[in-house]
Amino acid sequence: MASERDVRARLRRAGQEHLLRFCAELAPGPRAALLAELGPLEPDALREHCRRAAEACARPPGPPPDLAARLRPLPPERVGSASRGDPETRRLWEEEGFRQIALNKVAVLLLAGGQGTRLGVPYPKGMYQVGLPSQKTLYQLQAERIRRVEQLAGQRHGTRCTIPWYIMTSEFTLGPTAQFFKEHDFFQLDPGNVVMFEQRMLPAVTFDGKAILERKDKVAMAPDGNGGLYCALADHQILEDMERRGVDFVHVYCVDNILVRLADPVFIGFCVLRGADCGAKVVEKARPEEPVGVLCQVDGAPQVVEYSELSPEAARRRAPDGGLLFRAGNICNHFFTRGFLRRVTRELEPSLRPHVAVKKVPHVDEEGHPVKPLTPNGIKMEKFVFDVFQFAKNFVAFEVLREEEFSPLKNADSADRDTPTTARRALLAQHYRWALRAGAHFLDTRGTRLPELPSLPCDSDPPAICEISPLVSCFGEGLELYLQGREFQSPFVLDEDRARALQT
């Protein structure tokens, strides 16, 4: 470990020597911990990080004045659809996706570095239960979907196959996530196929470019955003691990979408057959002012433009078909080839421009007293996973139905959107629709048949509570075998045991 003298000299070079101002009064343990945290920080990189943070924060907010003139929607030939178009083409996409999965060419990669702060919990979001009848967490739902897709691909091609699960965590989420998986026996997945790795942390910075002390013995650090993926892949030799396993295609997604389809064979097959090195799923924006980034072209290159950067006039523009011109809402669900990720990590990552997040950062004052600010006082710099789209040689987008594939969990139930209630409702409504399509009928507690409403308003509960285990059906497939022509009392949970009983 570096000595205090060495660390002080390095901080002096970076213009951040104030981080040691309480060092002399610390006990040996906390002093050693602080020096261990500060030791790896490179002076030039730290100085540049703080300078860039203050400079970026000083820029006027809002979109660049010339952005609107540089925007174009994605060309139609670069966009596929899960619901529109030829069913035979969709079947070919799905078959190709399953073929690549059966060949062990596909991995999934989960972005799970964020904390559940907005959700109001002190643990990682993946450990959250939204209140399903089964009480399954997000992590369990995702693990079971992986197992089911492995099973489907194996059945089609007469083989045993594996979808490795890479999980990018942060300093905050690695320990709890690893412990949670161990406690749950990795949800019956092979632990050797679940690879957790940690993204980098960066100091939070004041508006005048000084790194912030959270405590006398600790710097205020924050994950470097989901775009920190590319440095983390290099730091932990993840691409080398993929190469050893024979993985060529990577499906990247965010932890908080309860409807996410992991290793979606239709999406994988679409991207592979199009020869894409990079792809993204999108949903149609619900309304012009919806706060989601829009996938479009800027100066001819694919890019996600954040909703705060899109002017109201641009957001309201209409296409000839009457829909929004800029309607491709980004849902953090992406396809990459391993070769593309290697090119990004080796050559292109340094050119990514960090984004500014202005936050309330707890800190100590000049006397060392803890302060919980009531207004934003610091800057966290982060990169976004989609910032690499501009580097793609063959980029494609894939439009999916919101009600089938996108319901994020971001806020506590006191908010009006993206809450445990809306996530639970979205999943149960999806399963109810699947059951109706498979020929099921539902009864109330008195045995009266409930009305069948295959189309539901997005803010309403389905008439019957029906939860279907991903181990029985991942995409709504094969349910006729268990449900057709039968009546079930609400609430109804179709798990593996119930499915076996219905077959006898």
Q: Look at the block and give the residue holding tokens 């800027």.
A: 298
Q: Which helix (DSSP H) or strand (DSSP E) does residue 248 occupy?
A: none
Q: What is the mean pLDDT of the chain?
A: 93
d(Cα 288, Cα 292) in Å, to the nearest integer? 10
Secondary structure (H, E, C), 482-501:
HHCCCEEECCEEECHHHHHH
Confidence of residue 41 (pLDDT cuts 50, 70, 90): confident
Secondary structure (H, E, C), 403-469:
HHHCCECCCCCCCCCCCHHHHHHHHHHHHHHHHHHCCCEEECCCCCECCCCCCCCCCCCCCCCEEEC
pLDDT of residue 61: 65
pLDDT of residue 62: 61
pLDDT of residue 1: 64
- The proportion of the chain whose per-residue pLDDT surpasses 70, expressed as a percent, equals 98
Angle at 441 between CA 437 and CA 442, to 5 degrees: 125
Q: Cis peptide before 491, with omega less than 30 degrees from 0?
A: yes
List C-alpha distances in Å: 499 to 18, 141, 313, 472.
Answer: 63, 17, 52, 7
- Tokens describing residue 175: 């320990």
For residue range 397-417, list pLDDT tens digits in order.
Answer: 999 999 999 999 999 999 989
d(Cα 199, Cα 202) in Å, to the nearest integer? 10
Residue among 34, 69, 74 at smallest CA distance from 294: 74
For residue range 169-213, list pLDDT tens digits in order.
Answer: 998 899 999 999 999 999 999 999 999 999 999 999 999 999 999
**Mean of the pLDDT values across residues 208-234?**
94
Highest-scoring range by mean pLDDT, 36-50, 75-89, 135-149: 135-149
pLDDT at 2 over 80: no
pLDDT of residue 40: 87
Q: What is the pTM of this model?
A: 0.94
**Mean of the pLDDT values across residues 91-100?**
98
Residue 81 one-letter amino acid = S
- The proportion of the chain whose per-residue pLDDT surpasses 90, expressed as a percent, equals 79
For residue range 240-270, list pLDDT tens digits in order.
Answer: 999 999 999 999 999 999 999 999 999 999 9
d(Cα 395, Cα 481) in Å, to the nearest integer? 39
For residue range 271-312, list pLDDT tens digits in order.
Answer: 999 999 999 999 999 899 998 999 999 999 999 998 888 888
Whether the CB-CB separation of 202 and 171 falls below 8 Å is answered with no
Give Cα 499 distance to the centre of its chain: 31
Burial class (CB in 10 A: 0-12, 13-18, 19+), 24: exposed
For residue range 347-379, list pLDDT tens digits in order.
Answer: 999 888 888 888 899 999 999 999 999 999 999
User: Is the dihedral angle over the CA atoms 415, 418, 419, 422 positive or is it negative?
Assistant: positive
pLDDT of residue 156: 97
pLDDT of residue 115: 78
Higher pLDDT, 335 or 355: 335
List C-alpha distances in Å: 195 to 52, 110, 163, 245, 350.
Answer: 33, 10, 11, 12, 25
**Domains of the chain: residue spans and CATH:** 4-58 (no CATH), 67-405 (3.90.550.10), 428-503 (2.10.10.100)
Confidence of residue 63 (pLDDT cuts 50, 70, 90): low
Angle at 245 between CA 239 and CA 248, to 5 degrees: 60
- Tokens describing residue 389: 């789209």
SS3 214: strand
pLDDT of residue 88: 96
Residue among 289, 280, 269 at smallest CA distance from 328: 280
For residue range 451-491, list pLDDT tens digits in order.
Answer: 888 887 767 889 999 999 999 999 999 999 999 999 999 99
pLDDT at 59 over 80: no
d(Cα 89, Cα 68) in Å, to the nearest integer? 35
